[in-house]
Amino acid sequence: MSSEESGSYVHEGEAFDRDMRYIDTRITRDARDGYGVEPGRYRLIVARACPWAHRAVISRRLLGLEDVISMGIAGPVHDWRSWSFDLDPGGRDPVLGIERLREAYFRRVPDYPRGITVPAMVDTRDGAVVTNDFQQMTLDFATEWTAFQREGAPDLYPAGRREEIDELNRWMLHHVNNGVYRTGFAGSQAEYEKAYRDLWESLDVLEERLGRSRYLMGPSITEADVRLFPTLIRFDVVYFAHFKANRQPLFTLPNLWNYTKDLFATPGFGDTVDFQQIKEHYYVVQTDVNPTRIVPLGPDLSGLLEPHDRDRFESATWGAGTAPGPVAAAERVDPAHTPWGAASL
């Protein structure tokens, strides 16, 4: 059982060390790992609270894979037995018929010894997890599922820039995406201060970078933006206070904040964010950080709806593609959990 599965995140005197060992089986066109690309065969299991799962939700929507890969959504609060499907009628995923995600893991590896994580791709034929490798998953959505992407799908991982994107993504993973966790789950003052300084130095680098182009790689959205947005959208809501990453709120950094507002207004990004589930997860589940389990009412998120200034840069948001269509009715976020549905959450 991993520390995250058991509910223990902070270890006294230690730095936070994320277990990055995942089921790395891939779903590919040539089925070289035994799993071929096939419409309707796989179910993507996510939780709207989780930033790693959020990437997969965004990628699937931008690429128009909703009718090809179904999606199950776990609730925001779980216990040591793993994510559960308490949002569904009867508390069971309607396709897989399971109450807890660990059932799908155990069908692949009995008594699976590591974290029961989202996102996870599950084979509906046998109900077993194929992969939970969130790093590779969205890259495969972009490159292996091209035959089934919607007409006008953007090229999120252009061949000529993959090395640059990979380098930036590796850096962001360690210093920003996981940097907030290293700050929040530090087990000593010294480890906290080290992680805090590294996180803010890295955010300052991104603030400067986003002063040169609309998106991280230039005028168009890429995989790098898909990976950064879930961290930024959670920053003022969770990481600033809950993880003590409190040098300053994100809204005081003009380039990062306007970039976040820009993406929030972009189809596929803001319409996949559920702020209430995000807050419930972090503040209720992580009891060694927040033992009272009190969920804060703030912050006021209405600023996300204000105009941004990112159109001052050269822009080709979708490259040679087009924006995705409306969110499917069954996958819409509850309006009450959004800035336009409530003045404050």
* Token code pair at residue 342: 């409530």
Is 259 noted as a catalytic residue in this protein?
A: no
The arrangement of strands across the sheet holding 42-47 comes to: 70-74, 42-47, 120-123, 128-131
What is the band of 341 on the pLDDT scale with cuts at 50, 70, 90?
confident
What is the band of 7 on the pLDDT scale with cuts at 50, 70, 90?
low
CA-to-CA distance for 75 and 15, rounded, in angstroms? Answer: 29
**3-148 topology per CATH:** Glutaredoxin (3.40.30)
Q: Which residues contact 152 (CB under 8 A, 6 or more apart)?
A: 64, 318, 321, 322
Residue 4, pLDDT above cutoff 70: no
Query: Which H/E stretch holds residue 72?
Result: strand 70-74
Give 105-153 pLDDT, tens digit per residue.
Answer: 999 999 999 999 999 999 999 999 999 999 999 999 999 999 999 999 9
- Mean pLDDT across the chain, nearest whole number? 95
What is the band of 1 on the pLDDT scale with cuts at 50, 70, 90?
very low
CA-to-CA distance for 90 and 80, rounded, in angstroms? Answer: 20
The per-residue pLDDT for 342 is 46
* Token code pair at residue 333: 């976020």
Lowest mean pLDDT among 7-16, 192-201, 204-213, 303-312: 7-16
The per-residue pLDDT for 345 is 34
Which of 50, 105, 215, 282 is the catalytic position? 50
DSSP state of 148: G
Residue range(s) of every CATH 1.20.1050.10 domain in the chain: 159-275+297-324
Tell me what percent of the residues of the chain surpass a pLDDT of 90.
92
Is 181 noted as a catalytic residue in this protein?
A: yes
Average pLDDT over every residue of 268-281: 97
How would you classify the pairing of strands 42-47 and 70-74? parallel
What is the band of 3 on the pLDDT scale with cuts at 50, 70, 90?
very low
Give 104-114 pLDDT, tens digit per residue.
Answer: 999 999 999 99
The per-residue pLDDT for 224 is 99
Average pLDDT over every residue of 83-98: 97
What is the band of 80 on the pLDDT scale with cuts at 50, 70, 90?
confident
CA-to-CA distance for 53 and 119, rounded, in angstroms? Answer: 5
Give 200-245 pLDDT, tens digit per residue.
Answer: 999 999 999 999 999 999 999 999 999 999 999 999 999 999 999 9
What is the band of 6 on the pLDDT scale with cuts at 50, 70, 90?
very low
Which of 181, 259, 282, 283 is the catalytic position? 181
Residue range(s) of every CATH 3.40.30.10 domain in the chain: 3-148
CATH number of 159-275+297-324: 1.20.1050.10
